Amino acid sequence: MHRYKINVEYKGTNYVGWQRQNNGMSIQESLETAINQLTAEKVDVFGAGRTDSGVHALNQVAHFDLKKIMELDSIRDGLNQYLRPQPIAIIKVEEVSSDFHARFSARQREYSYKIVNRRAPLTVDQGMAWILHKKLNITKMKEAASFFIGKHNLGAFRSVDCQSKTSIKTIDEVAVKDIDHKIFINVKAKSFLHSQVRIMVGTLVHVGECKIKPKEIKNIIKIADRKNAGPTAPAEGLYLANVFY
């Protein structure tokens, strides 16, 4: 068997998420179908992150095994041909060793959340960002973001559907950037709880709206109760930006 690693970009708006499900089309199923059409082999595709319904990816990483050897460019171009007109693109293909695993070999993942902060409605960013019309205090959001760094019990930032055995997670970086009415919140960690980034973003927005003070993040983390954190930000603003190995 030959193992191939692929870098995938997709717009998740009309998908039930990465993982194959019975209630609609997933990114995983779309990729497996395209690989079968290209190679006549039935494969399982394993992703680095299980993005939720409506969430996008700039650089999802996945792998699959084939019996046959194929040119890397032929895999990339062939899969892109079968994936059309779906908003899924194979950016890069590499052959890797059999001990590589897209999920378990990952050392760090980076998610990016996009907020458009202006009075005018969305146009080109419709379905790709969270529109907030009230001006946010970026300075306070940056101050609040710093309290997430480190190893914490993030029980306040997990959804009721989270299946993780523990809510203890280590966050390596949280960066808040404001570029021409667009706010990007980037979070880096090895792993995440279900809806963690979206709840973190919702809480930082509460800070930016001056509903809570930046230092209150420390108490929210300490108490570890979901009701104390902010709302879950909409899925359409979230992107799996990068995976590091």
From first to last of its 245 residues, the chain has per-residue pLDDT tens of 999 999 999 999 999 999 999 999 999 999 999 999 999 999 999 999 999 999 999 999 999 999 999 999 999 999 999 999 999 999 999 999 999 999 999 999 999 999 999 999 999 999 999 999 999 999 999 999 999 999 999 999 999 888 889 999 999 999 999 999 999 999 999 999 999 999 999 999 999 999 999 999 999 999 999 999 999 999 999 999 999 99
In this prediction, residue 163 carries a pLDDT of: 85
Q: How far is CA 61 from CA 9, 151, 153, 173, 190, in A?
A: 9, 25, 28, 20, 14
What residue ranges define each of the domains in the chain, with the CATH number in brackets? 2-96 (3.30.70.580), 108-244 (3.30.70.660)
Rounded to two decimals, the pTM is 0.95
Taking CA atoms, 117 is separated from 51, 81, 123, 184, 231, in Å, by: 24, 37, 13, 11, 17
Q: How far is CA 100 from CA 96, 104, 116, 184, 186, in A?
A: 7, 8, 38, 31, 26
Residues in the chain: 245
Angle (nearest 5°) at CA 123 between 80 and 125? 50
Q: Which residues of 175-188 are buried (b: 16+ CB within 10 A; e: fewer)?
A: ebeeeeeebbbbbb
Q: Is 73 noted as a catalytic residue in this protein?
A: no
Which residue among the candidates 52, 161, 178, 180 is catalytic per the annotation?
52
Torsion of CA 195, 242, 76, 95, to 10 degrees: -110
Q: So what's the pLDDT on residue 226? A: 96
CA distance 31 to 8: 10
Distance between CA atoms of residues 189 and 89, nearest Å:
25
CA distances from 128 to 59, 93, 174 (A): 15, 26, 20
